[in-house]
Amino acid sequence: MPFARESRKPLTTTESSSTAQSAGRRLSLITIDQAVAGGSNVLIAVLAARVLGVTSFGLFGLVFLVYVLAQGVSRALVCDPTLVHPLEAKQRLDEVIRTSCLLGAGLALPVIAGGLAVHVWSAPLGEALIVLGVCVPLLVLQDLGRYLGLAFRRPQDALVLDVTWLVLLVGGVGVLIASGTHDLAWFIAAWAGTGAIAGLLTLVQHRGHRPGFGTSWLRFMWPFSWRYLISYSSTQGAALLSSGAVGGIAGTRALAGVQGTLLLVRPYVTFQVAAVAAGVGEISHVRSDRERISRTVRRSSVLACSVAVLNTVVLLVLPDQVGRTILGDTWAATKPLLLPTGIQLVVLGITTGFRAGLLGQRAIRSVMAVDLVGTVVVVTTIIGGAFVNGAKGALWAVAAGHAVMMVIWMFTFFGTEDARRQHVGRHRADLRTIEPEPLAEPLTESLTERRRPSPSTVSG
């Protein structure tokens, strides 16, 4: 499968400085965008806790989980390959949008069907899932617009999409509060419906490309997409299995404490995912420039680690009154878990750059392998820790497991770098051993043919 090759023309000092400044501006916009996205995630959870009753808030968690799963499938099959292959995505943007539209419609159907089935057992949950299913196609399109902004180095597009959703969300929930509405389906309409409206902006931002339905981009990227799907499925499966294990071993109160910590760190998790995406977007444009790749990897890890440290400090000094305001009665079970959770964040922050470096260089086989190993490590450590000391032991154990995985990510990244460097060295050595061709044709044509780069091949 042929892929476009980026230019290898060396940069001058002035051009290099300008490129670094542009990358810095893009990173600043991405940071602002993720602050908006992360803040929106916390805001919607807090608003749900305040607007909905206890039972409805629990059902909202299930609806949100369904949304996250649908979003993950869309990202694995369309968005992540777009981010890693920006040149091909720009050339085939019609196909990218049409594949996303078809996938969104395909994901909506089981959500709506599930809502209809669940309605017999729980009418509020069934109605909420049906509303979510109706909104899923445009929510998928909104997420695609964010990824296109990162892939094409236009993070301002992603920022516009997220700010628009946030503004509409505040207005929609404000109407519910003013009218005294506490219905779950209406709350989902205010949240997912405003996101769907924001998703229409993706079509405006790329109005030169007509929407439709197709599978060309998925078929073109399938050698990569299925591996992204396996990586995503393994990490999400580990999270679900771990949560179930903690609840079964340590009890529902311990599980509530774990869920409380997840709510408090959700802004950082959103930021870290975006930091990986931003790093991938940068590296995928400069895969032949080892210095710029190393600089991007270092910058991504340092930034993500710094934000993780800041988030951890904020969690540890959070007053009890504020904690109870956010989490209610769950705060008492959550507070003892904040330190091991913060250490996990710092470790994950360090791995950010290495993951982005591997994905940006299309080493998806290596990423998939590490993710599968990580699934085993996380599940094993969290279950073992839960047996030893409940939720607290589980989180300390998984923090240690993430530290082990950090070392594996580092060795995998540097091992890939060494392998690529040796491959380039052997290739250059082979070129030096080639016999000079007789000048039977004009000199200019002969030199042109000898300097023409060989077609790039799929790597990763």
Q: How many helices (H) and strands (E) does the chain have?
A: 17, 0
pLDDT digits (tens, 9 = 90+) for 162-191: 899 999 998 998 898 888 888 889 999 999
- Is 64 part of any domain? yes
Does 247 lie in the same domain as 202? no
Does 307 lie in the same domain as 237? yes
DSSP 182-250: --HHHHHHHHHHHHHHHHHHHHHHTTTS------HHHHHTHHHHHHHHHHHHHHHHHHHHHHHHHHHHH
pLDDT at position 23, please? Answer: 59
Does 374 lie in the same domain as 244? yes
Does 87 lie in the same domain as 153? yes
Both structure tokens of 428: 């250059």
Which amino acid type is present at position 444? T
Does 288 lie in the same domain as 154? no
Taking the C-alpha atoms of residue 227 and residue 338, their distance in angstroms, rounded to an integer, is 33
Task: Supply φ then ψ for residue 455, to 5 degrees.
Answer: -60, 140
**Structural domain of residue 191, as residue ranges?**
22-220
Does 321 lie in the same domain as 206? no
Taking the C-alpha atoms of residue 282 and residue 86, their distance in angstroms, rounded to an integer, is 10
Do 73 and 195 touch, CB atoms closer than 8 A? no
Do 413 and 297 touch, CB atoms closer than 8 A? yes
- Is 444 part of any domain? no
pLDDT at position 243, please? Answer: 67
Both structure tokens of 261: 């910590």
- Is 400 part of any domain? yes
Buried b (16+ CB within 10 A) or exposed e, 416-449: bbeebeeeeeeeeeeeeeeeeeeeeeeeeeeeee
199-202, long-range: CB within 8 Å, 24+ apart, which pairs?
199/138, 199/139, 199/140, 199/141, 199/142, 199/143, 199/145, 199/161, 200/138, 200/141, 201/142, 201/145, 201/160, 201/161, 201/164, 202/97, 202/141, 202/142, 202/144, 202/145, 202/148, 202/161
Backbone conformation region of residue 390, classed left if phi is above 0, alpha if psi is from -120 to 50, else beta: left
pLDDT at position 260, please? Answer: 78
Does 236 lie in the same domain as 188? no
Does 237 lie in the same domain as 210? no
Does 229 lie in the same domain as 147? no
- Is 252 part of any domain? yes
**Residues of the chain falling short of pLDDT 50:** 1-11, 13-16, 423-425, 427-460
- Is 107 part of any domain? yes
Domain boundary among 177, 195, 220: 220
Backbone conformation region of residue 409, classed left if phi is above 0, alpha if psi is from -120 to 50, else beta: alpha
- Is 326 part of any domain? yes
How many domains is the chain built from? Answer: 2
Does 248 lie in the same domain as 141? no
Integer-rounded Cα radius of gyration of the chain:
24
DSSP state of 442: -
Taking the C-alpha atoms of residue 173 and residue 189, their distance in angstroms, rounded to an integer, is 9
Taking the C-alpha atoms of residue 51 and residue 187, their distance in angstroms, rounded to an integer, is 8
Does 231 lie in the same domain as 212? no
Helices 123-151 and 252-283, packing angle to 10 deg: 30
pTM of the full structure: 0.71
Domain boundary among 220, 249, 277: 220
pLDDT at position 343, please? Answer: 92
Taking the C-alpha atoms of residue 21 and residue 193, their distance in angstroms, rounded to an integer, is 38
- Is 17 part of any domain? no
Does 188 lie in the same domain as 53? yes
- Is 12 part of any domain? no
How many other CB atoms are there within 10 angstroms of residue 319's CB atom? 8
Domain boundary among 220, 247, 273: 220
Which amino acid type is present at position 286? V
